[in-house]
Structure 1
Amino acid sequence: MTTTTTTNRSMSSSPKRQRRPSSEDNCRQQQSQQQRDSFDRFGDDLAELLLGYLGFDRRVGCECVSRQWRRIVYRTQRELRFGHTYSSSAPRPQTWRQFETIVRKCSVGSITRLEFTDDDYPLNDHKLTAIIKHLPHLLHVSVESYGQVRRQTWNKFFDRFGRQLRSLRVDPHREDIDYFQNRIGKYCPNLRSLDITNPYSDRCFHYLTDAAATDGHQTTTVFNQLQRLSLLYANKDTDRFERFVANYGRTMRTVSVMTSFSLNRVASDILLTGLSQMSRLVSIEIKYYPSQTFSVSIGRLLPRIGQNLSQLKRLSIEWYHADGQHIVEVIDTLNRNFRHIQRLELKGMIYNESQPMSAPLDQLTRLTHLKLNVHNLVVGDQPLLARIDRLFPRLRYLFVTEADLSPEALKSLCRLKRIQYVYITFPGEQLDITVIRDTLLASCPTIREVSSNCALNYLF
């Protein structure tokens, strides 16, 4: 009896065996966990896609959303731009320690592009030191404004990034020109894009055509992979430019030239003739300042560029001031000899009275980007705006100043099936920009922005 009672007590005191959780219990537990942190339902790939639609200045504020977003918000960043107020610009830290914090956080990703483009926020020695320390993957650097930076720090920069750089733009101070020319020619042999449009440099082509090597010998080609060049051209550069065309003419893809105000006719002819011999060019940008030389050379040699460069896709011509009738003749020349281009930009001033745009552009049917920023050139219904949908059916970007826009022209704009960006201004009392914006947004499914603000200028 005693034994039986003891056995029963031991059985009653033993712990009960717990029931195994079923699959339904696991699902309920996972759902409750997801409800507590709903952002965990987004995978890293989807979260990166969502963050990709935000500029860096807005993306930084997403750190506080969740731990996952804090982890990937900098991992998806590929560029840092300190300057213009575009959507991709980075916030401006007030101290160099704050700057180093942002740069250090960005080191978890692969920052390949860096830009300092505003005089109000220049590069300095502390910032450059942080960049050298935390951004090892830089390929594209543009420094239009910098303050006090020691030569020792610049030496570290070129030692660290020189051979891996693919594009470089530096606007050096007058006393630093020779230093940068020697450093770029010695440490950056793999550049594909180079900007040397410094107005104080008196020998821009020096290290492009005959820069001295370290052993004292002369080299004919410093940058074997160079495809894009921006430069300042003056009368003294004629011999070097001809040598540059001979060395780089078969590889160059993009050339941007800014001429000096004292450019004579001979130097102008050599420039345009050399450009016409660079058969692989896809983009040409010419900023022409002397008005008399522009009127003589452009009208005579511009057709040769259009006839010889069959791969040319973009042409940009800017001048200081010129006669209105001559500009109309240039437009007619473009219409007859540049039927293959896709992007056309004309910018300048007509110094006499307002000139109506009488020359048509009916042969440039492949245009996707059209920019007519000419002061005193009135772009009216005929021969352009009222039938713009038939002239340029592929047009995606339109930038027109002093447009004489009628209701018929507005209807023609609404019939453009691919238009995305429209910038337009009027010389007098015209349609309200709000009316134009509402009409285009309601009629064009592809439209993204309609504005009279120059912020769209960078899209060209």
Structure 2
Amino acid sequence: MNNLMTTTTTRKGDSFERFGDDLAQLLVSYLPIDSRLRLECVSKQFQYVIYNTQDYILWDNTQIANPCRHFNCSQCLSIGFEKILKKCPYIKYIKFNGMDAIMFTDHYLYLMIANCPYLKCLTIKLKQSMAYTSLTSYMFSQFLIRFAGQLQSISIFGFNHIFNELLSYLDISYAPNLRNVYLECDDKDYFIELNRIYYSTNVNTLPKTLDSLAFVVQHESVQLFQTFAANYGQQIKCLQILIGGRFIRQYMNQLKSGFSQMNELTHLNLIIDTSDEINDEDEDEDENEDLCISELLVALVQQIAKSCAKLTTLKIKSYNNEDICKGTVWILIEIICHKMNQLNSLSIECPVNSLNNDIYLMTSKSLSQLKHLRQLRLEFSGAVIINDEFFTNIDHHLPQLQLIDIKEPFDISSETIKSLAKLRHLNTIRLYSSANEDIDEDLIISELIDRANVTNIYITRLGSTNGFIRGKQI
């Protein structure tokens, strides 16, 4: 009896030791970081697993518990952040998300310098503009100097003109492993200052490992874009570019020349915003050389189709509909279908000017050459109409489709639902109904969920949040 009790006691004491590290790591991987740290009391093994496998921190003051229970206690948040960094020495990825900007101070940068020897990626996305923080240029420069040799990605949202002094420290030429740079600014004009860091004609400021970049091009910086493309076009794979301001034909040729050198591009987000007003002085000068947005858009897409044979993801967004007509949309679709049939993802968001009630009815047949397409997002307003005819034989025209997002309201009929159910790979749907009648939820459940196994469905009436919503929203 005593031997049995002794054996039982021994096994009970060794139960956590018999937990493999892999299983312990799997268990804690489902928990947020604050819950993981509470498990350090379970056993030394759990403590070891948590401390030595935690390499990512999402610092959100809506999720982190404060010792004093004050939601906006900056001191408690800073202390909590310091404790985590000291306990977890192998942190590689840090993202500040949703914090009040006034709470983001130099101390956070100091803590990362002191406790994160393996830091590779940093993202700062606060509730307000970075202008409301109390960061100093000195500490920011110390951070960049400390991590320049190992940083792979840096993303900062909400830069403001108040941070002019910090620009002098954003020299990323000493970051040999940097692959992704994203700097979002509150002020459009200020982007030109950021651009000059990247497009320097005297110094090659970008490391050769960089393959992802986001920036704005206006007519003042077109030449800089061309220089940038000549230096780095063969290495950039992911590009987000906002083209704004006034453009004339010589600028368009420089843009085309830049894109002609980006043969390795796989992901492109092309945003065009020429809605800025033009001064009277500028209006007289080169009056015959002004370039309408339709001509600019078509010329760029033609050049991209010609030069970027590896492109798999294309997003086109325009904020100005004065010059775009249904003919422009038709030309764009023709170019994309005939010369970009390798695309896996296509998104077009383009308001269309309706002239003389000229209407273009779009169907899935017009996209039938995109046999590899998996994601489709369309939003037109005006002369381009999408209705239930779009979905006729969609399983034959777009057989690989996994996600469809149509933001044009139309009368969603039972035939539309049945056509969507024939897409074997479909898992996400977002549609808007223009009908006053309630959406047939029983049909959606029987056809799309039970039969087609669609997991994410968002179908509502225009201007209403009520409708059929199931799974994750997109």
> Per-residue deviation at 1:50?
3.8
SS at match of 2:149: helix
Structure-1 separation of matches of 2:169 and 2:330: 44
- Residue type at the aligned position of 1:389: D
Unaligned runs of 5+ in 2: 276-290
Larger radius of gyration: 1
Question: In structure 2, do the counterparts of structure 1 residues 178 and 126 end up closer, same or farther at CA, with 3 Å as the change threshold?
Answer: closer
> Per-residue deviation at 1:320?
0.5
- Residue type at the aligned position of 2:42: R
So what's the TM-score if we normalise by structure 1? 0.78
CA RMSD, Structure 1 to Structure 2 (Å): 3.7
Structure-1 separation of matches of 2:452 and 2:294: 40
Question: Which segment drifts farther, 110-119 or 285-294?
Answer: 110-119
> Per-residue deviation at 1:313?
0.8
Matched, 1:155 2:141: yes
> Per-residue deviation at 1:318?
0.6
Question: Which segment drifts farther, 304-313 or 229-238?
Answer: 304-313
The match for 2:94 is 114
Question: In structure 2, do the counterparts of structure 1 residues 42 and 310 end up closer, same or farther at CA, with 3 Å as the change threshold?
Answer: same
Task: Encode CA deviations 1:27-66: one digit per residue, 9 max, x unaligned.
Answer: 64466669xx8x8875442243244345x3xx53355566
Matched, 1:343 2:345: yes
> Per-residue deviation at 1:304?
3.0
The match for 1:442 is 450
Task: Encode CA deviations 1:339-384: one digit per residue, 9 max, x unaligned.
Answer: 001111112323447864257111111012211133455432323x
Whether contact under 8 Å (1:268, 1:293) holds in the other structure is no
Question: In structure 2, do the counterparts of structure 1 residues 150 and 239 end up closer, same or farther at CA, with 3 Å as the change threshold?
Answer: same
Whether contact under 8 Å (1:208, 1:223) holds in the other structure is no
The match for 1:421 is 428
> Per-residue deviation at 1:127?
2.9
Matched, 1:299 2:319: no
SS at match of 2:436: coil
> Per-residue deviation at 1:142?
2.4
The match for 1:94 is 72
Matched, 1:381 2:383: no
The match for 1:79 is 56
- Residue type at the aligned position of 1:294: I
> Per-residue deviation at 1:161?
1.5
Task: Encode CA deviations 1:88-143: one digit per residue, 9 max, x unaligned.
Answer: x8779632333231453255163322333547456332333333333332212222
> Per-residue deviation at 1:412?
2.5
Task: Encode CA deviations 1:265-293: one digit per residue, 9 max, x unaligned.
Answer: 43234224421331111111111012763
Structure-1 separation of matches of 2:385 and 2:325: 11
Structure-1 separation of matches of 2:302 and 2:107: 51
Question: In structure 2, do the counterparts of structure 1 residues 314 and 75 end up closer, same or farther at CA, with 3 Å as the change threshold?
Answer: same
Whether contact under 8 Å (1:348, 1:375) holds in the other structure is yes
Select 1:46's aligned residue among 13, 23, 39. Answer: 23
What fraction of aligned residue pairs are identical, expressed as a percent?
20
Question: In structure 2, do the counterparts of structure 1 residues 142 and 267 end up closer, same or farther at CA, with 3 Å as the change threshold?
Answer: farther
Question: In structure 2, do the counterparts of structure 1 residues 46 and 166 end up closer, same or farther at CA, with 3 Å as the change threshold?
Answer: same
Whether contact under 8 Å (1:375, 1:401) holds in the other structure is no
Task: Encode CA deviations 1:209-266: one digit per residue, 9 max, x unaligned.
Answer: 437xxxxxx4235422221111110111122222111111111111110112334443
Whether contact under 8 Å (2:429, 2:456) holds in the other structure is yes
Counterparts of 1:237-316 in structure 2 under 5 Å? Answer: 237-290=221-274, 293-316=292-315
Structure-1 separation of matches of 2:59 and 2:380: 30
Whether contact under 8 Å (1:273, 1:301) holds in the other structure is no
SS at match of 1:365: coil
> Per-residue deviation at 1:79?
3.0
Structure-2 separation of matches of 1:45 and 1:441: 35
Structure-2 separation of matches of 1:193 and 1:124: 24
> Per-residue deviation at 1:436?
7.0
The match for 1:169 is 155
The match for 2:34 is 60
Counterparts of 1:22-33 in structure 2 under 5 Å? Answer: 28-29=8-9
Whether contact under 8 Å (1:113, 1:141) holds in the other structure is yes
Unaligned runs of 5+ in 1: 1-18, 212-217
Question: Which segment drifts farther, 416-425 or 177-186?
Answer: 177-186
Whether contact under 8 Å (2:58, 2:94) holds in the other structure is yes
Structure-1 separation of matches of 2:61 and 2:77: 17
- Residue type at the aligned position of 2:346: L
- Residue type at the aligned position of 1:348: C
Structure-1 separation of matches of 2:64 and 2:219: 40
Q: How many positions carry a matched residue from both structures? A: 422
- Residue type at the aligned position of 1:357: M
Question: Which segment drifts farther, 178-187 or 155-164?
Answer: 178-187
Matched, 1:204 2:191: no
The match for 1:133 is 114
Question: Which segment drifts farther, 171-180 or 39-48?
Answer: 39-48
Question: In structure 2, do the counterparts of structure 1 residues 174 and 281 end up closer, same or farther at CA, with 3 Å as the change threshold?
Answer: same
Whether contact under 8 Å (1:52, 1:76) holds in the other structure is no
Question: In structure 2, do the counterparts of structure 1 residues 411 and 272 end up closer, same or farther at CA, with 3 Å as the change threshold?
Answer: farther
SS at match of 2:258: helix
SS at match of 1:382: helix
Whether contact under 8 Å (2:191, 2:215) holds in the other structure is no
- Residue type at the aligned position of 2:163: D
Structure-2 separation of matches of 1:255 and 1:82: 27
Question: In structure 2, do the counterparts of structure 1 residues 166 and 421 end up closer, same or farther at CA, with 3 Å as the change threshold?
Answer: same
Question: In structure 2, do the counterparts of structure 1 residues 448 and 80 end up closer, same or farther at CA, with 3 Å as the change threshold?
Answer: farther
Structure-2 separation of matches of 1:401 and 1:368: 17
Question: Which segment drifts farther, 139-148 or 42-51?
Answer: 42-51
Whether contact under 8 Å (2:313, 2:346) holds in the other structure is yes
Whether contact under 8 Å (1:177, 1:201) holds in the other structure is no
